[in-house]
Structure 1
């Protein structure tokens, strides 16, 4: 299947795969809002046997066939780092928190 991949400019390492180029009408409005502006990143021929660095090709294909899009989120290592105890226990700046 021919696929088109777009990078979110708002969410680092987040990609939207589409089965048709520039067919953003198929994605839910809430997803479009979360992703913000998208930049075309890649056009690729995808098969179930193809190895992808971050995704299961068969799952991507299934989503593209069922709904016309697939959302690729950042790798788990990135998410785990944000939840690391050292990150969570960093000293808080009360002046910065008050301005929120």
Structure 2
């Protein structure tokens, strides 16, 4: 199974996986609007990979078949100040 991976020019760390390069037909308009101008990162064969960076490869494949796309969002940013305050017992 081949797929094309695009990064968002608006939101760092957001990636859109689609079935075929430049074929955004199955991607909702609202999602494309949020992505602005998607930038092609690479085209890969998922069957020849055991894992992907931060995405679950089985989930990516399933969503590509079911929805025609997979959206990878960046992990949430840790609030280090809040964690430090909690560790020190400081109330907010």
Matching of residue 63 in structure 1 with residue 60 in structure 2: no
Matching of residue 80 in structure 1 with residue 77 in structure 2: yes
Tell me which stretches of 4 or more aligned residues in structure 1 moved more than 2 Å.
none
TM-score, with structure 1 as normaliser: 0.74
The structure whose RCO (Cα within 8 Å, separation 6+) is larger is: 2
Higher percent of residues as helix: 1
Aligned residues: 82
- Distance, in Å, in 1 between the alignment partners of 2:2 and 2:18 is 9
TM-score, with structure 2 as normaliser: 0.80
1:16 counterpart SS class? strand
Structure-2 change in CA distance of 1:39 and 1:46 (3 Å):
same
Q: CA deviation at 1:80?
A: 3.0
User: Structure 2: which 5+ residue stretches go unaligned?
Assistant: 83-92
Matching of residue 29 in structure 1 with residue 29 in structure 2: yes
User: Structure 1: which 5+ residue stretches go unaligned?
Assistant: 88-100
What corresponds to 1:12 in structure 2?
12
Q: Name whichever of 5-14 and 49-58 sits farther off.
A: 49-58
